[in-house]
Amino acid sequence: MGKFFLTLLLMFMLLFGSLFFIPINFFVSSIMKNLDVDIEYSYLEGNIFSGKILDLYYDNNFIGDFNYKNQFTFNDISANFYSIDEKNIAGTVVKDLHNITDIGTIVLKDFSASSVVSTDLIKYVDLDLNVQELEIKNFECAYINGNLKISSQEINEELIGELACFEGNTISAELFNKRMKELGNITYSDSQIQVRISTKTIPDRRVQLLMDYVSFTIDL
């Protein structure tokens, strides 16, 4: 009986240890063959526990280059990722093992991203996104707890909006200043972010006379 348990233990250690050496590309290639999703990448290195992925694209949109580190429990799998290029992106994807086959349902936690964009009227707009939790069901936003901050030297004050899910897989937020005055909004849909900021935030009175809002779109 002792030899039986010893054999099982050695087999488990061998199988578990071998996972460290099986290339992650082996697992991803096998999974991608059965998925109807437009995901592409140029290079994938590592194993199921840690590694990196370069030139990641989703639906023909460049996402970035990332390092990842996976953690496994009896209940779920957590994939921690962070960007290794000029983008500032980090977060954790959590997948419940009880519905491991349902690829359209995941939870995103502690996600952060920042970017700087410029328009003809507002230069160097800082966008800071922080999401404590985002629940996706059937590839659509079901619940989100997070906010977006917008600031610039050419805007009188910082704007912040609390994110919410809406129909059509849309995420939106009304933008307020510290005095809780609504001064714009932001909407994410179809891989695009549409931002609208009141010209009341811009010191140039000539701009305020010409238009009520400054609008711009960011392609993701």
CA–CA distance, 132 with 148 (Å, rounded to integer): 12
The answer to whether residue 181 scores a pLDDT higher than 60 is: yes
Could you give the C-alpha distances from 92 to 108, 112, 126, 151, in angstroms and in order?
A: 6, 10, 23, 26
**pLDDT at residue 76, as a whole number:** 85
Whole-model pTM: value is 0.77
CA–CA distance, 116 with 216 (Å, rounded to integer): 13
Most confident range, picked from 31-35, 37-41, 102-106, 214-218:
214-218
CA–CA distance, 113 with 85 (Å, rounded to integer): 13
Q: Where are the domains of the chain?
A: 1-96, 104-220
- Which pairs with CB-CB distance under 8 Å and at least 24 residues apart come from 210-216? 213/184, 214/119, 214/121, 214/122, 216/117, 216/119
Which H or E run includes 214?
A: strand 213-219
Per residue in 90-108, pLDDT tens? Answer: 988 888 878 777 767 888 8
Residue labelled with tokens 């811009």: 202
Q: What is the mean pLDDT of the chain?
A: 79
